[in-house]
Amino acid sequence: MAAMSLGGLSAAGGVSVAAASVVAESTTIGQSDAAPDFYYDSATGDLRFYHDGLTPIMWSAGAPSYVVSLVVGSASGLLRFNNASPTFKGGAGATLSPTLLASSLSNGIGFIDGFDLGNVLPAGLASDILTNDLTLKYQVLNGGFLKKRAWSSHRS
């Protein structure tokens, strides 16, 4: 199965989109480059979030921080919001629509490495569709604004 990277979105037989700083950056999937990745499985439409070496900042009290918010936007309404995972759906302020998936897990450990958002995309999407249609963001608790990812590279 081939995998692609969408500035943080990766996919088995699909596409990878990496989460980046406010200025969109590219990433190399699975390289522990401290740039989180979203992994898209083109066979199923499954979307997962990976930390990929991201070390969240520490709170002022010295406690570790974590990824608290995930946002996936689709300009053309590709999102299959009903297929979002129960944990994503149950997050604070969850927004579920064909154009926006957003959720926050502010209690506990947040969005863990490998977090499964569910089969929220159609299967078989080409990389150009993902590149032009999707916006992927993440936020670290006490880490400022949402960080955005841009299209990265193809991997197999």
* 15-36 pLDDT per residue, tens: 444 433 333 333 444 455 667 8
Domain boundaries along the sequence of the chain: 3-155
Q: What is the pLDDT of residues 1-10, one digit of tens each?
A: 334 444 444 4
- Measured from the Cβ of residue 118, the count of other Cβ atoms closer than 10 Å reads 21
Q: What's residue 7's pLDDT?
A: 44
Cα-flanking dihedrals φ and ψ of residue 39, to 5°? Answer: -110, 120
What does the mean pLDDT of the chain come to? 75
Sheet holding 147-149, edge to edge: 92-96, 100-104, 67-74, 134-140, 147-149
